[in-house]
Amino acid sequence: MSKTVAILIARLIFGGVFVMAASFKFLGMEATAGYIAAAGFPFPLFLAWVAAFFEVALALALLTGAFFSEAALLAAAYVLFLAFAFHGPSHWEGNQAEFGFFIDHFTFIAGLLFAAVHGPGEKLAIRKSLI
């Protein structure tokens, strides 16, 4: 029972993080695009929309358990990209807090990798065959 509760709480945290991230993007798409542009990426508004919908897809997969391990691996790669693109070494000199933000991403990545290996929990998964 405690294992099931822990897995459920972890999935709610993983999914909740991506729900919040997507919500902030949808509520402030222009601000998100500005942040993306400031990092030097082309087509910032397009990329902001792609990121928002990608985060929704990740949240759905992590919360429902459908394609859970695949989503957790994609999420880990995405979070690694975000760490380097928006908080990497080039940002540390101007703001030491950026180093902390950078390191925090790796804690999340570790959890996602652990989840990818161990899956969504036997009793908590939506079977792929049902989808």
Q: What is the pTM of this model?
A: 0.88
Contacts within 8 Å (CB) and 24+ apart, 57-62: 58/18, 59/15, 59/16, 59/18, 59/19, 59/22, 60/15, 62/11, 62/14, 62/15, 62/18, 62/115
Q: Give the mean model confidence (pLDDT) for residues 102-106.
A: 94
Other Cβ atoms closer than 10 A to 45:
14
Query: Is the separation of the CB atoms in 58 and 78 below 8 Å?
Result: yes
- Residue-level pLDDT at 94: 77
- For 68-82, how does the pLDDT look when each residue is reduced to its tens digit (9 = 90+)? 999 999 999 999 999
Report the pLDDT value the prediction gives residue 93, as an integer from 0 to 100. Answer: 83
